[in-house]
Amino acid sequence: MTTSTKTKPAPKWDLDSIFEGGSASEAYKKHRQDVKVRLEKAEKDLNQLQTGLDDSSLSVWADFILDWQTLGEDIELILSFSGCLTSQDTTDSAADAIESEGMVYYSRWQKIKATLESLALQQTDENWNKLLADDRIKEIEFYLNEMRDLAKSKMPVEMESLALELEVNGYHAWDQIYSKMSGGMKVDFEENGKTTTMSLGQLATKMSDANRDVRKQSFDKMVGAWEEKADLAGMMLNSMAGFRLSIYERRGWESASYEPLKQSRMQQKTLDTMWKVIKDNLHRLKPYIDANKKLLNIDKFSWYDQFAPCGNAEKIYPYDEAAEFIYENVKTFSPDMAAFCKMAIDKNWIEAEDRPNKRGGGFCTGMGKNNQSRIFMTYANTYENLLTLAHELGHAYHSWVLNDKAPFAQHYPMNLAETASTFAEAVVTDAALAQTEDAREKLMLIEQKLQGAYTMMCDIHSRYIFDTKFYKKRKDGVLSTQELKDLMVEAQKEAFGDLLDDSGYHPLFWCSKLHFYFTGAPFYNFPYTFGYMYSGGLYARAKSEGATFAAKYDSLLADTGIMTTEALTEKHLGVDLTDESFWKGAVDTALADVDEFVKLVDELS
């Protein structure tokens, strides 16, 4: 890596190879029109299934399900492409309209699903199993059985269909409005005698600046911007939760965690066991925080100190060098994974340029039957950015491993989605550590690892605690902005313990974190910690088993769309996730470098 401050800009992604012309693309428009026509046909063909499932109608059912599956994949392409367009340019109003159009199609597709679920429930087990025995259907047996089983705990089909219509015309709009609002927010930032207008995505990069005054200004500017929008954000959050709770009540779902657990294909006991072990071991992060305070020469550890750089802070990581570094070191674990990373980079599947009007954050999204992914991020030449690139490439590789599967067999839950991404981060960080003899660089790399553990064990936990308590309180009525602030601080105190100073909490975190507003998945928090801990167990296996583990790793990823989380783990790792021992081992792996970090800080201070 280099210490030069002059680097060429990170690249823009290639979207034209999917649909040339962005939101004005004629090919994209034709695709949407085709989807609309096919949707209308599917809605009519659904009537043919009303007579029931028997030997004479098995083929009709199979044909319908396969067509419906492909239709769903093409609707996902509409939404993923529009999501790319709105993320790369928050002023693209045409893309906003297309995203809304796509949500209408998705709602109609979901209404077909609701009817199909109801019809599936009405069939005898004997006839249902005959359908699943069809060679064309067998690969998606798990998805169809899951769908049929979940239908048992849903409302009558007419009410489910109405709920889906209301979702697209109201519920999902909160997500879109939030993204539009946060993407358009800007602040004036003062640095080196100059004032620059920044988006919140650009401002976020300042939270990891070496200068504490810069970090504090970044935090204060972000809080100030959100303070002006807090009442609106609170209205959105309350409305989203109210909608969900109304639906849950009608379905008879007593707990707000029922849906996210079903989406994660995971038991509550597994999740509770993980959080218990994390809470029991929270004190083991204290030496890391104390050493950080010593290194930063501060008495109080605040929210804006969490991402302060340590060690060789002036070292920069240009995009091209970072991409090559990831490729070379992933290759030591899996040549196949490395070849994929190189292909994704060379084909410009990655949007990394730092420029105005981009939304904040990062993501990886699929491109349907194109068997491609696109990665969105803002690259600012930090090691943290390098890790984000590795993280998102891990997501993309996971999808790549599943490319030869049927679309429904590719649908893996979010908690397992975070496995491959976090695994890729671990491979890259350990490679960097192994290749440096510089104490200050080693300090920085270890700090990145421990910062990840700290975030997953504390930050994400605070989000889960907030969501859990918020939904319980929301059942009794709307929460005011101040109540939301108080609840957020309460959650942070519980999750962070004594690691943050009393004056260092972030009362408006519920505003600034887009994950709270993602209507596609409630409780969009615990999957990150689960994936982090889970991948730690996989990585430990990889180090102990050596080169032979890469094939096992691919096999596990390939099964993530057709098994529950517990069954997948039992099959490929021989592990019971409701047993504390697995999670204790995961915490040990996550915190293995605390002593070395403290030692390096003492030596360098």
Radius of gyration of the chain from its Cα atoms, rounded to whole angstroms:
24
**Tens-place pLDDT, residues 423-482:** 999 999 999 899 888 899 899 889 989 999 999 999 999 999 999 999 999 999 999 999
**Is residue 314 over pLDDT 70?**
no
The phi-psi region of residue 252 (left if phi > 0; otherwise alpha if psi is between -120 and 50; otherwise beta) is left
| Residue 262 confidence (pLDDT) | 94
Residue pair 398/412 in contact (Cβ under 8 Å)? The answer is yes
Q: How far is CA 542 from the centre of its chain?
A: 24
Nearest to 332 by CA among 546, 538, 535, 539: 546
| Residue 568 confidence (pLDDT) | 97
The phi-psi region of residue 47 (left if phi > 0; otherwise alpha if psi is between -120 and 50; otherwise beta) is alpha
**Tens-place pLDDT, residues 103-122:** 999 999 999 999 999 999 99
**Tens-place pLDDT, residues 5-33:** 567 889 999 999 999 999 999 999 999 99
- As a whole-number percent, the residues of the chain with pLDDT over 90 amount to 79
What average pLDDT does this structure show over 82-86?
97
**Is residue 221 over pLDDT 60?**
yes
| 344's tokens | 């994704």
Instruction: Classify 253 as helix, strand or coil.
Output: coil
Residue pair 432/445 in contact (Cβ under 8 Å)? The answer is yes
| 244's tokens | 């969900």
| Residue 4 confidence (pLDDT) | 47
| Residue 2 confidence (pLDDT) | 54
Nearest to 327 by CA among 345, 315, 348, 312: 345
What average pLDDT does this structure show over 486-508?
95
Cα(596)–Cα(258) distance, integer angstroms: 41
What average pLDDT does this structure show over 414-420?
90
Task: Please report which residue ranges of 207-366 form alpha helices under DSSP H.
Answer: 212-251, 258-263, 268-280, 286-296, 319-330, 335-346
Residue pair 492/207 in contact (Cβ under 8 Å)? The answer is no
Sheet with 350-351, strands from edge to edge, namely: 350-351, 373-376, 363-366
- As a whole-number percent, the residues of the chain with pLDDT over 70 amount to 99
What average pLDDT does this structure show over 341-363?
93
φ and ψ at 196, to 5 degrees? -120, 135
Cβ neighbour number for residue 88 with a 10 Å cutoff: 21
Q: Is the dihedral of CA 69, 70, 73, 78 positive or negative?
A: negative
Cα(513)–Cα(124) distance, integer angstroms: 46
**Position with higher pLDDT, 42 vs 514:** 42
For residue 334, give the amino acid letter.
S
**Tens-place pLDDT, residues 529-557:** 999 999 988 888 888 898 899 999 999 99
What's the whole-number average pLDDT of the chain?
93
Nearest to 513 by CA among 533, 542, 484, 474: 484
Cα(413)–Cα(519) distance, integer angstroms: 15
**Is residue 401 over pLDDT 80?**
yes
**Tens-place pLDDT, residues 110-159:** 999 999 999 999 999 999 999 999 999 999 999 999 999 999 999 888 89
**Is residue 313 over pLDDT 70?**
no
Question: CB-hemisphere CA count at 13 Å for 428?
Answer: 28
- 452 burial (CB, 10 Å; 0-12 / 13-18 / 19+) is buried
Which uninterrupted H or E stretch holds 479?
none
Residue pair 330/426 in contact (Cβ under 8 Å)? The answer is no
Residue pair 89/95 in contact (Cβ under 8 Å)? The answer is yes
Residue with tokens 């072990």: 277
Cα(216)–Cα(222) distance, integer angstroms: 10
Confidence of residue 3 (pLDDT cuts 50, 70, 90): very low
| 205's tokens | 């990069």
**Tens-place pLDDT, residues 442-455:** 998 899 899 999 99
Residue pair 251/558 in contact (Cβ under 8 Å)? The answer is no
| 141's tokens | 């047996």
Q: What is the DSSP letter of 188?
A: E
Cα(456)–Cα(459) distance, integer angstroms: 6
**Is residue 346 over pLDDT 90?**
yes
Cα(410)–Cα(304) distance, integer angstroms: 39
**Tens-place pLDDT, residues 190-211:** 998 999 998 888 888 888 888 9
**Is residue 228 over pLDDT 90?**
yes
Cα(286)–Cα(289) distance, integer angstroms: 5
* Candidate ranges 60-74, 163-177, 510-524; pick with highest mean pLDDT: 60-74
Cα(66)–Cα(87) distance, integer angstroms: 32
What average pLDDT does this structure show over 228-234?
96
Nearest to 325 by CA among 415, 385, 369: 385
**Tens-place pLDDT, residues 552-597:** 999 999 999 999 999 999 999 999 999 999 999 999 999 999 999 9
